[in-house]
Amino acid sequence: MNKQISKIENVSIYFINLLNISIEDELTMIDMLQELEVIEDLNSFRIFVKRRFNYEKFRFLTGYQKFISLSNEFRKENKLKLDAETQERVDNYSEMLFNKITRVIEEINFKLQELGKKIDDFDYLETLKKNGFVSSDIEILNTIGDKKRMFHLALYSKHELKERIERIVNKKTLIKVYPQLEIDKNYSDSENIECLKLLGK
């Protein structure tokens, strides 16, 4: 028990440093320890936070607010798991879709620069179809954002784009495996709520 407490305290120090959390208020530290106590896989949570804490939606939050928001997202995304075989198929498809959309956007961007044109000068949807994207691929990409958003992520924030695709595909598959799941109206991650709505069609 003492080893577990020590581990939680060490992890809390890591997050205090990573997120620049002010611990002048004793209640802040107590809240953090309580949050960490209910997270079974602290190492996975550490990696989760490290990858996402600098996302745009967290930019204007304090360090402590980032910690709470990220811990809530982590718990929501880890309530249910897929079996190993299904997870492997999900990972392979996510990787394929990421590589494909990144390659296509990089090619389009090169051609636009070469011709001196802008993003608005081409038909994004038609281009996707011509490059072999099927309706299910396009639904996932549209869930992430419009063509300007996709261009920004594919060219300047590939890591974030990859993680967004993985999350959406994972949740889409979870809904198929666990049809009893309901949309969480209070879930702040709008992209995943939109994905669940798509699955209800």
What is the tens place of the pLDDT at every residue in 105-114?
Answer: 999 999 998 8
Q: Output the pLDDT for position 194.
A: 44
Q: Please answer whether residues 45 and 39 qualify as being in contact, where contact means their C-beta atoms are separated by less than 8 angstroms.
A: yes
Give CA–CA dist 58/125, Å, rounded.
Answer: 30
Q: Output the pLDDT for position 141.
A: 94
How many CB atoms lie under 10 A from the CB of residue 58? 18
Of 29-38, 56-65, 83-92, 164-173, least confident by mean pLDDT is 29-38
Q: Does the pLDDT of residue 199 top 70, yes or no?
A: no
pLDDT tier at 74 (50, 70, 90 boundaries)? confident
Region for residue 83 given its phi and psi (left: phi exceeds 0; alpha: psi -120 to 50; beta: otherwise)? beta
CA 32 to mean position of chain CA atoms? 22
Amino acid identity for residue 76 in this structure: K
Q: Does the pLDDT of residue 191 top 50, yes or no?
A: no
First vs last Cα of the chain: how many Å apart? 48
Q: Please answer whether residues 58 and 68 qualify as being in contact, where contact means their C-beta atoms are separated by less than 8 angstroms.
A: no
Q: Output the pLDDT for position 75.
A: 80
Q: Output the pLDDT for position 190.
A: 44
Give CA–CA dist 18/86, Å, rounded.
Answer: 34
Q: Residues 129-154: pLDDT tens digits?
A: 999 999 999 999 999 988 899 999 99
> Both tokens of residue 68?
């709470």
Side-chain-facing half-sphere of 54: CA atoms under 13 Å: 7
Average pLDDT over residues 160-183: 79
Average pLDDT over residues 37-54: 86
Better pLDDT: 40 or 87: 87
Q: Output the pLDDT for position 110.
A: 92
Give CA–CA dist 165/181, Å, rounded.
Answer: 20
